[in-house]
Chain A
Amino acid sequence: GESVGLHLPTLSVQEGDNSIINCAYSNSASDYFIWYKQESGKGPQFIIDIRSNMDKRQGQRVTVLLNKTVKHLSLQIAATQPGDSAVYFCAENIDRTGNNRKLIWGLGTSLAVNP
């Protein structure tokens, strides 16, 4: 769902541990999902995406899991590093026709990696 001005949830992990960031999306018709990373003072950076016909996708050190039954998305980061410290957002696209590529953004989770 959309941000409503609340303080961001925070996840604190030790360097080297695995991180799991969760996101509940809003629309069961959503067809496409993306995870973005935003460092302080910068624009969001694309991490990984997944389509609704998949339930898992892996990238370099990251895995995205999609559970359409409960409308839940998660991002797993393996061997978390200090450079992973940032705010992570999930976003969804609901237009199956591809004509409207507007993304609906989640609230965001702040990840803090302790050395």
Chain B
Amino acid sequence: NAGVMQNPRHLVRRRGQEARLRCSPMKGHSHVYWYRQLPEEGLKFMVYLQKENIIDESGMPKERFSAEFPKEGPSILRIQQVVRGDSAAYFCASSPSGTGGVEQYFGPGTRLTVT
């Protein structure tokens, strides 16, 4: 039962380095979402992608953050020149194709720590 997969599960980066977070959606899912979660808080939407397209990036910081979902391979959330405030859990979710239910299935998350 291959659910949404994320790697790495834990990532430590020093200030100024780059962080790359990967997400493989469930089989047959072509919609991917990225969320950020700080301790004791809810999820904050970042970006919604379909294959090779960014549908909604209204939650992405204007600088240093980018996301892609190529035709082949996983979706990537990239954070350049990380700062301590980027430390958080980053969750990826996917949903099925078509106009059916919009329920999203989540991966286990990547916990980013910036030292």
Contacts and interface: CB of A to CB of B under 8 A. Distances in A.
A86 interface: no
A3 B41 contact: yes
A101 B40 contact: no
Interface centre among A42, A49, A101 (most CB of B within 10 A): A101
A7 B103 contact: no
Range of interface residues on A (Cβ < 8 Å): 20 to 34
Contacts of B35: 105
A101 B45 contact: no
A101 B48 contact: yes
Nearest to B58: A102
A60 interface: no
B105 to A, nearest CB: 7
A49 B104 CA distance: 11
Interface in B76-115: 91, 93, 95, 99, 101-109
Contacts of A43: 4, 91, 93, 106-109
Nearest to B91: A43
B28 interface: no
B22 interface: no
B38 A102 contact: no
Given A34-B103, A43-B91, A100 B56 contact: yes
Contacts of B31: 101
Interface string B15-51: 0000000000000000101010010111111001000
B55 interface: yes
B38 A5 contact: yes
A105 B106 contact: no
21 contacts: A2-B44, A3-B44, A7-B40, A32-B101, A32-B102, A43-B4, A44-B93, A45-B106, A46-B103, A46-B104, A100-B48, A100-B55, A100-B56, A101-B48, A102-B33, A102-B48, A103-B33, A103-B102, A104-B45, A105-B43, A107-B41
A98 interface: yes
B103 A102 contact: no
A106 B102 CA distance: 17
